[in-house]
Amino acid sequence: MRQNHLFAPTLREAPADSEAISHELLLRAGFIRQLASGIYTYLPLGWRVLRKLERIVREEMDAAGAQELLMPAMQPAELWQESGRYSVYGPELIRLNDRHDRAFALGPTHEEVITALVRDEIQSYRKLPITLYQIQTKFRDERRPRFGLLRGREFLMKDAYSFDSSWEGLDRIYWRMYEAYATIFARCGLNVRPVEADAGAIGGEGSTHEFMALADIGEDTIASCTHCDYASNLEKAIAGDRDASDDLSSDASTSQPPLPDDEPSNFAAPPSQPPQPEKLHTPDIRTIDQLTAALGIEASELIKTIVALVDGKPVAVLVRGDHEVNEIKVRNYLGGAESFEMADAETIATLTGAPVGFLGPTGLAIPVLVDAAVARMSSGIAGGNERDYHLRNVCPGRDFPLDNVSDFRNVIEHDPCPRCAEGTLDFHRGIEVGHVFKLGTKYSDKLGAKFLNAAGQPQAAIMGCYGIGVSRMMSAACEQHHDDNGLVWPLAIAPYHVHILPVSVKDEAQMQAAEQLYETLTRQGVEVLLDDRDERPGVKFKDADLYGIPMQVVVGKQAGEGIVEFKSREQAVKNTITIEEAIDRIMEKMNSIG
Amino acid sequence: MRQNHLFAPTLREAPADSEAISHELLLRAGFIRQLASGIYTYLPLGWRVLRKLERIVREEMDAAGAQELLMPAMQPAELWQESGRYSVYGPELIRLNDRHDRAFALGPTHEEVITALVRDEIQSYRKLPITLYQIQTKFRDERRPRFGLLRGREFLMKDAYSFDSSWEGLDRIYWRMYEAYATIFARCGLNVRPVEADAGAIGGEGSTHEFMALADIGEDTIASCTHCDYASNLEKAIAGDRDASDDLSSDASTSQPPLPDDEPSNFAAPPSQPPQPEKLHTPDIRTIDQLTAALGIEASELIKTIVALVDGKPVAVLVRGDHEVNEIKVRNYLGGAESFEMADAETIATLTGAPVGFLGPTGLAIPVLVDAAVARMSSGIAGGNERDYHLRNVCPGRDFPLDNVSDFRNVIEHDPCPRCAEGTLDFHRGIEVGHVFKLGTKYSDKLGAKFLNAAGQPQAAIMGCYGIGVSRMMSAACEQHHDDNGLVWPLAIAPYHVHILPVSVKDEAQMQAAEQLYETLTRQGVEVLLDDRDERPGVKFKDADLYGIPMQVVVGKQAGEGIVEFKSREQAVKNTITIEEAIDRIMEKMNSIG
């Protein structure tokens, strides 16, 4: 491609509304332009990157035995009503009526459509397992679109769905997809970490992983072990039950195994009990910070009580003063509740009689969920359910019931690892670029996707779903691969492989050498951008660094002698070499593309 | 691909609602499935065809110097308001509101988005000309979706837009696209005819062509000359002004040139005038058929008067009794009017005093548009504007004014060709698979897409637009390439190139030969489907013919001796040859793919 003709307008300044470096650089380098909030046009360079990502995804999905198809964006509302998600999905689901007033949704995902398709077309176990995928534009009306392609309203996804006759089969394809994903992200040059995650609104049983591209801008927090390979999304991460304040040098063999959710008897009150609760006068002291300051204690000695309406029903949740309630764990504990709302002051007063800031766990008439870390305390300080009073010596099991003990909190940094006896949890930020879910029979049950099994009995298909945010990968790659001068594309997804920069287009020897190199490389399948613009060298070099094409060849004064400057965009070191050597280096790098 | 795993469910019976052979066969062969009226899922085989069409389109667009990008489907309503099309486009434009109640349209086309993009990014003539294109899902809420992919509501289009600084430049790219289109359709194996067409609602000046795939199911009528290369959409077709009843063997040199629109003086009444109009008592005779039967005359001796509201204003249009009014020609004559509505009986009575069936051209107080064929009549029979009466000897120019004479009718078969002196017009049916339009400055004016020209003056960009219905091409190909047994894909767009059919999968020699052939061909880049299903041969052959993969290799009893049956799906002749010969034949055919 000759740059004179390329539609890739660059901007010298960062656009005012760019909130992430990837967003800024993709705009400045002319890869994307915003049409509306969270809605972007991919200009030719951006589109080339997107297509390369698409191709790598497609190759690995095909290699993993998945078959590509294409489903519509417009989905009849009836299907979403059948699955029960039409009301649940909320305002993120874009709804519209056709000219006959029939309701449709614009697909943010395709579980309903694919399940209905397989229901209608597959009747026998002999046709299973099957994995189908598509690479398609999705729509989701984000409340707050931001960070360019990272959180958009119209975006490119690869979504795959597997259908099996057995759970073992689902497990096989799940891990096959997991491996394919690892390969895809590696081929694209992305530093991605698979983490355990909660299935969330999409629902379903069994294990679930998210693939997180590590980046500070990431909206998700990953907790990963300093010692073993445990890594989890914050939503799902659990702490080991070694006390966080344990001396980490203590004998690892004394550590207990991870906390089982269903054995509250582990947490019976210890034999020697502290004295009875005692009132503390704490006038106007309502927050954890005020309380620790006034009493000269650590937040970890406090028991925090919150009241929430879960699917409209009130529950109290107790966590330690230094911990935060994890809504998802609470919802999951309560049978997969769909909503979780903090109760307001008035509701709390009605339910418990306690004024704001003085709510405590004693004598509550609503169900009390106790986080395991609280259950392990011998006693703590808690609200007194009376204005200006707290209680000390509040004792789990004695002063409040331990009928519902589980993990109800977010982990905090340096919590013990739940898997190994040695490590603690570190926090990182990540961008979710992929996920693999075991859906089980959630959708096949609701939509009636049954097949006849080997015994001739109707059975619901066992499903998995597997997504990759293709356009989001583009931004994630930029977050991971840039420097002060611009983008630095991994070779496999770069819009072009080589950028040829003749210093002066008026110099005949330079242009002849540049054109010849362009032809030679193009013939060998190298994608080359030739900057044939009559611009000052400084402008050309600045634009070249901004575009981030991985190999630059500067054709300058020594062109007549067959000498050029070769620069890897990544290393920023210029090598003055012969044209033949430059070609060799380029072809060598080309061979490294997977 | 092994057929045991392929998701391509076939149907023995034609689905009840299939209205076209392409629709029926694509459903029966498992290439597509309907999700909602006019909305289809492309199953793996259909998706493969679509991607091949896409690739050919992309290659030729790139070769013609166009650059690919991708614009969003969700378009802010503001842009459509700027262009003035938000109200004009009507219910075919799918509208929706986002969660903040901002109005959007789902793009049926992208003139607004691309013009706004170029407006914002291109300021100088130095960056022109530029041609940008995308291959993208489009949305159009058809009043009556039908014929499967031929008239759908969600479909795949290639749309390209050119921006030039001069009309000569537009002309160059217009014809470059025209040539690219001819190549694309030829490469895809489609029999396509470019025809002159009206610009329609998309508007704009200058020439416009539609590319019509010839097929009986086609919704468009093409009028083409029996002698020269004149071909036009019926909307736009004009008849030469040789009298249609002329003896075609008459000396061609006496034929007059095509009718100029703007020289009504050519149609002054002939010197010797017929007698004055005379009333004919025609009780209850209201239709052309009744009239010709009652009076024993030809319809071509009648003058038909219709009254229409064009942009709300009444006009009368006169055509011969054997001709039909062409609304588009009337609208264009009246300065590009947007609406044309036949007046109802009451309106006609109010405007003219005439009862239904007796309306005539004399003494009308509204503008009268006279079709050229009427203007050429020495006299005719027309309605008398009085119940139960017609008039004979109604004379153009004497009994009604010839201030507005032009071509206002549809051509009919055997009309003289407007271009050559010898041919007459034949009618064919066609499916519009592409169009090239000169838009001029229609959109750049409305959206303010100006650049600075060489003289430093702001000037509106001169635009063209160029569409191809990619998914529609798939159906058009099926209409042209099928037989009683199923589809017959052209090699370049076939889902697979070769279908290997072992007669018995339990026969080791057969399976070994089949597998080996599969491997050999696959290694050479041939796309092979291997029917490894344990089915009766009859079932396999039936499915194979239905799928329509262009080359079939039947591996049967002689497999052990290295002998197979080779069949071209098109020719249906089986050749018993060696495996090596089969490979040679296959590779020979493969080399024929452009």
Which of B415, B438, B380 minimizes the C-alpha distance to B259?
A: B415
Question: Chain A to chain B, count of Cβ pairs less than 8 Å apart?
Answer: 134
Cβ–Cβ gap B33/A65 under 8 Å: no
Which of B503, B483, B475, B492 minimizes the C-alpha distance to B569?
A: B483
Q: d(Cα B472, Cα A523) in Å, to the nearest integer?
A: 35
CA distances to A89, B203, B326, B491, B516 from B340, in Å: 44, 16, 10, 45, 66
Most B CBs within 10 A among A98, A121, A139, hence the mutation to make, goes to A98
**Residue A424 tokens, joined:** 């603690």
Q: d(Cα A197, Cα A237) in Å, to the nearest integer?
A: 8
Find out whether B590 and B497 touch, Cβ atoms under 8 Å. yes
Task: Fill in the amino acid letter for B391.
Answer: L
Tens-digit pLDDT profile for residues A375-434 = 999 999 999 999 999 999 999 999 999 999 999 999 999 999 999 989 999 999 999 999
Cβ–Cβ gap B41/A121 under 8 Å: no
What average pLDDT does this structure show over B111-136? 97
Q: d(Cα A445, Cα B432) in Å, to the nearest integer?
A: 43
**What integer pLDDT is reported at residue B247 of this predicted model?**
38
Cβ–Cβ gap B67/A7 under 8 Å: yes
Which of B122, B116, B123 minimizes the C-alpha distance to B78?
A: B116
Q: Which residues of B touch A111 (CB under 8 A)?
A: none
**What integer pLDDT is reported at residue A336 of this predicted model?**
83
Task: Fill in the amino acid letter for A280.
Answer: L
Residue with tokens 């204003």, as numbered in its chain? B313
State yes or no: pLDDT of B8 exceeds 90.
yes
Min mean pLDDT across A192-206, B219-233, B554-568 is at: A192-206
Q: Which residues of A touch B106 (CB under 8 A)?
A: 96, 106
Q: d(Cα B126, Cα A91) in Å, to the nearest integer?
A: 46
**What integer pLDDT is reported at residue A557 of this predicted model?**
95
Tens-digit pLDDT profile for residues B63-88 = 999 999 999 999 999 999 999 999 88
Please provide the DSSP assignment of B361-406 as one string. STT-SS-EEEEHHHHT-S-EEEEEEETTEEEEEE-BTTTB--SSEE
What average pLDDT does this structure show over A291-316? 94
**What integer pLDDT is reported at residue A272 of this predicted model?**
67
Q: How many CA atoms lie within 13 A of A120 on its CB side?
A: 15
**Residue A63 tokens, joined:** 């290699």
Find out whether B36 and A76 touch, Cβ atoms under 8 Å. yes
**Residue B107 tokens, joined:** 């793009």
The secondary structure element, H or E, covering residue B78 is: helix B77-83
Cβ–Cβ gap B47/A69 under 8 Å: yes
State yes or no: pLDDT of B402 exceeds 60.
yes
Tell me which residue in A41, A104, A106 faces B70 most closely, judged by beta carbons.
A41
**What integer pLDDT is reported at residue B246 of this predicted model?**
42
| Interface ipTM | 0.88
Q: Chain B: nearest CA to A75, how far in angstroms?
A: 8
Q: d(Cα A476, Cα A469) in Å, to the nearest integer?
A: 10
Opening angle at CA A92, ends A88 and A98, nearest 5? 90
Which three-class secondary structure string do you get for A25-56? HHHHCCCEEEEECCEEEECHHHHHHHHHHHHH
State yes or no: pLDDT of A196 exceeds 50.
yes
Q: Which residues of B touch A54 (CB under 8 A)?
A: none
State yes or no: pLDDT of B238 exceeds 50.
yes
**What integer pLDDT is reported at residue B421 of this predicted model?**
87
The secondary structure element, H or E, covering residue A319 is: strand A313-320
Which of A550, A549, A553 minimizes the C-alpha distance to A516?
A: A553
Cβ–Cβ gap A44/B33 under 8 Å: no
Tell me which residue in A9, A36, A74 faces B76 most closely, judged by beta carbons.
A36
**What integer pLDDT is reported at residue A253 of this predicted model?**
38
In the sheet that holds B74-76, the strands lie side by side as B74-76, B103-106, B94-97
Confidence band for A259, pLDDT divided at 50, 70 and 90: very low
Q: Chain A: nearest CA to B492, how far in angstroms?
A: 19
Which of B179, B186, B213, B188 minimizes the C-alpha distance to B54?
A: B188
Q: d(Cα B376, Cα B361) in Å, to the nearest integer?
A: 15
Q: d(Cα B591, Cα A289) in Å, to the nearest integer?
A: 78
Confidence band for B18, pLDDT divided at 50, 70 and 90: confident
**What integer pLDDT is reported at residue A41 of this predicted model?**
98
Average pLDDT, chain A: 92
Q: Chain B: nearest CA to A93, how far in angstroms?
A: 9
CB within 8 Å of B333: residues ≥ 6 apart:
B261, B369, B404, B406, B408
Opening angle at CA B494, ends A70 and B559, nearest 5? 120
Find out whether A450 and A460 touch, Cβ atoms under 8 Å. yes
List domains and CATH numbers for chain A: 21-236+427-478 (3.30.930.10), 259-406 (3.90.960.10), 496-591 (3.40.50.800)
Find out whether A423 and A80 touch, Cβ atoms under 8 Å. no
Tens-digit pLDDT profile for residues B487-538 = 999 999 999 999 999 999 999 999 999 999 999 999 999 999 999 999 999 9
Q: Report helix, strand or coil for A207.
A: coil
Neighbours of A358 (CB within 10 A): 22
**What integer pLDDT is reported at residue A16 of this predicted model?**
83
Q: Report DSSP state, residue B12.
A: S
Please confirm whether the linkage preceding A283 is cis (ω < 30° from 0).
no
CA distances to A152, B13, B14, B472 from B19, in Å: 40, 14, 10, 15
- Which chain A residue is nearest to residue B36, measuring alpha carbons? A76
Task: Fill in the amino acid letter for A572.
Answer: A
Number of H helices, E strands in chain A: 15, 31
Q: d(Cα A566, Cα A240) in Å, to the nearest integer?
A: 52
Q: Chain A: nearest CA to B98, how far in angstroms?
A: 7
Most B CBs within 10 A among A32, A96, A527, hence the mutation to make, goes to A96
Please provide the DSSP assignment of A260-298 as one string. PTT-GGGGPPPSSPPPPPEEEE-TT--SHHHHHHHHT--
Tens-digit pLDDT profile for residues A117-137 = 999 999 999 999 999 999 999
**What integer pLDDT is reported at residue B412 of this predicted model?**
94
Cβ–Cβ gap A39/B120 under 8 Å: no
Find out whether A551 and A588 touch, Cβ atoms under 8 Å. no
Task: Fill in the amino acid letter for A129.
Answer: P
**Residue A551 tokens, joined:** 């190999």
State yes or no: pLDDT of B205 exceeds 70.
no
Q: Which residues of B touch A154 (CB under 8 A)?
A: 72-74
Residue with tokens 């940008």, as numbered in its chain? B132
Residue with tokens 């339009």, as numbered in its chain? B437
Q: Chain A: nearest CA to B36, how far in angstroms?
A: 7
**What integer pLDDT is reported at residue B594 of this predicted model?**
63
Buried b (16+ CB within 10 A) or exposed e, A145-173: bbbbbbbbbbbbbbbbbbbbbeeebbbeb
Cβ–Cβ gap B72/A41 under 8 Å: yes
Cβ–Cβ gap B154/A73 under 8 Å: yes
What average pLDDT does this structure show over B113-122? 98
Residue with tokens 């704009």, as numbered in its chain? B204
**What integer pLDDT is reported at residue B360 of this predicted model?**
95
